[in-house]
Each structure stands twice: as C-alpha cells, then as structure tokens.
Amino acid sequence: MVKLNSKLISMILFALVVIVSAEVIFEERFDDGWDKQWVKSDWKKDDNMHRWKLVSKLVKTTDSTLYQPNSPSSATRTRPFVFQFSVKHEQKLDCGGGYMKFLSGDIDQKLFGGDTPYSIMFGPDKCGDNTKIVHAILTYNGKNHLIKKEVPCETDQLTHVYTFILRPDATYSILIDNVEKQTGSLSSDWDLLPPKKIKDPSAKKPDDWDEKKYIPDPEETKPAGYDDIPKEIPDADAKKPEDWDDEKNGEWIAPTILNPEYKGVWKPKKIKNPNYKGKWKAPMIDNPEFKDDPELYFFPKLKYVGVELWQVKSGSLFDNVLVSDDPEYAKKLAEETWGKHKDVC
C-alpha cells in the first residue's frame, strides 16, 4: 500500500505488458522494489508534485492539496478486460478523487499530467454532499465520454475495491467490493456512437393531424334564457338608511351581490375527440451518420496505468492494482486481500 505525498504529486507506473492470453496482465501489490516500476513525472515539478509514501505496502498520499499522476498493454479482442484496485480514504476525504487512468504508449511519461490524453479513467470521486460517484470515462475518437448512469461510490474511511470489466460483446460491469453496482451496454450507457435511429428531419405534421384529446360536444346547445341571468343582483336584505336624504344623496339604490343563479359564460361540455391521433412525432429513420464498431470495447494502445487526481486533504491509500483478462481472478484477489480485513480497515 502506497501513500501519496505532497501538494501536487505526479508519478507514472511504467510496465510493458506482452502477455495477451494469461489471466494476469499486470499486478502491483507494492512489495519491495515497487518504486522501480514507477516513473516520476516532471509535470509541475516545481510545485512539489511527486511525493509518495510506502505504508504497510500501500501507496499513500500525504500533504494537503494534491494532484497525483502514476504511469501496462493490454486488452485482447477475445477476452474481457478487467481493471481493479483498492483505495482507502483514511483521512476522511471531503473533496477529491481516488481514480486511476489508462493511457496509450504514445505519451511522454515524464510529461504525464492533468492535460495528458487518456483512454480510460475509473474510480471514486467525492466532493461535499453533491458529488459521490464512480467515474467511468471512456475515450473514443479523441473525445472523453462519461457514463450516463450514476454509480454511487463509498464515502467512509474503510478500504474498498473498485472493478471495471469490459467484455468483447461490448457489455460492461462496475463492481464495488465484489458486488455488481452497474452493468449494461457500452453503446447505450455511453454516447460513444451516434444513435442508430433519428427523427426524420424532412417529416412534417399532416394538416389534418388532430392533437386535441377532448372537444366541445357538438350536440349540446345553450339552455334558453341562459344569457339573461345577471352576474349580480340587488341585495334583497339591504335597507335604505333612515337618514338617507334623496335630495342630497340622490335616489338610494340597494347594493348588489353575486347572483347564486349565475353560472358563468356558457360552455358546452367536453367529450373525447373521435379524431384524436395523439401528439404527432416525426417517424424514426436510420441515421446516415451511424456506423457500428464491433470493437467498441477494445483499446489496442493501452500501455500505462497512471494516477492523476486532486484532493483537498491527502492521505488516500492505494493497493492491489490489477489488470487482467479474468474476472474470476480479480474476484479471488479481492477476497484474498481486501476480504480478509474488510470489517476493520
């Protein structure tokens, strides 16, 4: 477990991966010599951005405000892609991330930082009471796409394991502590591809399309004398004051009151419209911009895993970073590590 140290921290884990069919592509438990696999980035070097601390074989962030960058190849066309790691915010994190990034081999490790393009970003992010989510961002055709479904993250001070599985059938699963929290299709839960169907832009509502659900009853007629009923009538209980002087005040007229017989402006009752067709919608047509991608899940250039994040208060612990093509192995690893101590740390 390694503890991140400093105001602005930048490191890149560099591990070439040539295995394409074994169950473990990359695994980091931060044993002795772990730091020899990590390349320190010079991004914001002057801001003291590359301190990490090893604490009981975990990587830990220390110091207050920090960005933390850290920078395996690996995804096959026939096997799942599994990314998993554990993180513990023992500092009672108020605002900050605990996510990791996957990057291609095209980057300059020494310059890895917040603006470096990445392929996958995954992990928890919390800020106050409004942001408590698991980021799952996929980059496609140079654009970062956030998952459209909300996946709440854990917010306590215990260790939690986050797992992201991408499958050859373009489905995915997100797990926390070996429990599936979200699953679905890459094409539906991210806006990676244009929609298959779109509204026909040339379609127009027909002139005789009736959207009125109810209409006045054409057979109903206004009762005779209806309009002769006044809205107000003289108050029959009113009496002329004894001291009223007609010569001085004019002829006394009783005040008016609302007529209880008055029913307002006459309107025929409403009936269901026999010609009602519902709200008009343009017909859907095939989107000429849509082009399916059978390898939507596949990221062929993945080479590095990195940590680049922001925290108001440092002290997060990272451990057991895994890149694999076997979800069962990832589950087993989580149980053998986090599972043995989940109730106490």
| In-domain check, residue 90 | yes
Cα angle 137, 141, 144 (rounded to 5 degrees) comes to 25
**Could you tell me the pLDDT band of residue 344, with boundaries at 50, 70 and 90?**
low
Query: Quick one: average pLDDT of 234-252?
Result: 87
- What does the alpha-carbon distance between residue 83 and residue 24 come to, in Å, rounded to a whole number? 11
Residue 233 lies in a domain: no
**Higher confidence at residue 148 or residue 241?**
148
Q: What is the pLDDT of residue 72?
A: 42
Look at residue 261 and tell me if it is in a domain: no
d(CA 11, CA 161): 21
Rounded to whole angstroms, the Cα distance separating 307 from 159 reads 17
Amino acid identity for residue 196 in this structure: K
Tell me how many helices (H) and strands (E) the chain has: 4, 25
The chain-wide mean pLDDT, for the chain, equals: 81
Residue-range definition of the domain harbouring residue 99: 2-192+295-341
Higher pLDDT, 96 or 41: 96
C-beta separation of 262 from 236 below 8 A? no
Q: Are strands 95-97 and 120-127 parallel, antiparallel or unpaired?
A: antiparallel
Q: How far apart are CA 169 and CA 163, in angstroms?
A: 18
CA distance 336 to 342: 11
Q: Residue 134: inside a domain, yes or no?
A: yes
CB–CB of 85/26 below 8 Å? Answer: no
Q: Which of 26-35, 89-98, 117-126 has the lowest mean pLDDT?
A: 26-35
User: Both tokens of residue 42?
Assistant: 């010079």
DSSP 13-27: EE-----SSSSEEEE
Q: Quick one: pLDDT at residue 42?
A: 65
pLDDT on residue 55: 43
More confident residue, 227 or 285: 285
Is residue 276 in a domain? no
Write a three-state SS string for 231-276: CEEECCCCCCCCCCCHHHHCCCCCCEEECCCCCCCCCCCEEECCCC
- Beta strand 197-199 with 284-286 is antiparallel
In a domain, 332, yes or no: yes
Does some domain include residue 131?
yes
Higher pLDDT, 222 or 37: 222
Per-residue pLDDT of 301-328, as tens digits, reads 787 888 777 776 777 788 888 888 899 9
- CB contact at 8 A, 122 and 162: yes
Mean pLDDT, to the nearest integer, of 183-204?
95
Please report the pLDDT score of residue 70 as a whole number. 43
Considering the chain, what percentage of its residues have pLDDT values greater than 90?
Answer: 43
* Backbone φ, ψ for residue 167 (5° rounding): -115, 155
The two three-digit tokens of residue 150, written as one number? 């909300």
CA gap 49, 66 in Å, rounded = 7
Q: Which tens digits make up the pLDDT trace of 68-110?
A: 444 444 446 788 999 999 988 887 777 878 888 888 777 777 7
Q: Which of 57-71, 103-117, 142-156 has the highest mean pLDDT?
A: 142-156
Q: Is 208 helix (H, G, I), strand (E, B) or coil?
A: coil
Reported as a pLDDT band with limits 50, 70 and 90, residue 48 is low
Q: Is 49 left (phi over 0), alpha (psi -120 to 50) or beta?
A: alpha
Residue 8 lies in a domain: yes
How would residue 340 be classed by pLDDT, with cut points 50, 70 and 90? Answer: confident
State whether residue 187 is helix, strand or coil.
Answer: helix
Q: For residue 8, give the CATH number of its domain.
A: 2.60.120.200
Residue 56 has pLDDT above 70, yes or no: no
Q: Report how many domains make up the chain.
A: 1
Confidence of residue 155 (pLDDT cuts 50, 70, 90): confident
